[in-house]
Amino acid sequence: MAGPGINFLWSLWGAGEVVGGYTISHVIKGADGRTYVQPRRGVDTIPTRTQVDDYPSESVITKDNLTINIDAVVYYRIFDATKAIYEVQDYVGAVQKLVQSALRDQVAQYDLDDLLTSRDKINNSLRTVLDEATGPWGIKVDRVELKDIDLGPFGKVLAEQRAAETRRRTEITEAEGQKRSAILRAEGERESAVLEARGKKESAILAAEAASEGVILKADAEAQAILRVRDAEAHGFKVLAEAFENRSTNSEVLRVLELQKAEATAERIASGSATKVYLPADIGNLFGLIRPRGDGPA
C-alpha cells in the first residue's frame, strides 16, 4: 500500500509474484448490446469511490420451476484497498460470482407471481447477503437493484394467461352485476305485489266493515221502528182501555173497532189497492155508522 510521498519497494528478483501484476476484471458492454465481464491486467490503482457494475443477465429458476433471466446492478465501494487486493483475487469477478449465487438462492424462494411483486424485498435481501460476504474483502455493498426480469418464451404465455384471467374476472363481475340487478328487480316486484295484495286486503276489510256497520245500523233502525210501533199500539190499547173503563161498555168497544175496520176497508176500495174485500154480515149497520167527513160528529 503506497501512501503519500516517496515510497521504497524492496523485493528479491524472481521471488514471489511480480509486483503490480494482479488482475482486476471490469464490466463492459459488447457490440451486440449484451454485458460482459472481462479480465484486465496492469491495474496500478484502486478507486475508493462508489462503483456501479451492471452484471450480465443470469438464468435462474423460480420456486414453481420456471426459468427466467434477471439483470442485477450492484453499487459498492472499496473502503480498504489492501484487503481488496490481498484478501481476494479479482474482487470484481468475485462480486459477480456472489451476485449469481445469491440471486439464484433468493429467486428460488419465490413463485413467479410473488417474484414480480417482491422486487424491493429481494433487493434488500441481496444487499444484506453481499455486504456480509464482501466485508472481509474491504468492500461495502450499498445497494442492489434487479434491473430487468426477462420471462423469455414463457412471457408470451404468461401475458395470454393474464389476459384470459382479466377477461374471466370481467365476465364474473358482469355476471354478478346482472345477478344482483335481477335479484333487486325480483325483490322490487315481490314487494310491489305484497303491497298491492295488502292494499286489496285492507280495502276488502274496510268494505266488509262498512257493509257490516250498514247492516247493523239498518237492523237497529228497523228494531227502533218496530219498537216504536209496538209502543204506539200499546199506548193506544192503554188509552182505549182507560176510555172504556170510564165511559163505555164492551159493546161500544166492539162497535168502535168495527168502525175502524170499515174505514180502513173503505180507504182500500177507494185507492184500488184491494182486489178482494171480505165484509161482515151486518155490513149495513157498519156503513150506517160511517158518515162522510165534514158532516158533523158521528
| Cell numbers standing for residue 155 | 412471457
Please tell me the distance from the alpha carbon of residue 126 to that of residue 133, in angstroms, as a whole number: 11
C-alpha span between 52 and 235 (Å, rounded): 133
Question: In the predicted model, is pLDDT for residue 20 greater than 60?
Answer: no
Strands 51-54 and 58-61: unpaired
Enter the pTM of the model. 0.49
Q: Please state, as a whole number, how many other Cβ atoms lie within 10 Å of the Cβ of residue 128.
A: 13
Contact 46, 84 (CB under 8 A): yes
- Look-up of cell digits 173503505: 266
The model's confidence at residue 75, banded by pLDDT at 50, 70 and 90, is very high
The strand ranges marked E within the chain are 26-29, 35-38, 51-54, 58-61, 67-78, 139-150
Q: Residue 164 — very low, low, confident or very high, per pLDDT cuts 50/70/90?
A: confident
In 3D, which of 60, 50, 65, 79 has the Cα closest to residue 126?
Answer: 60
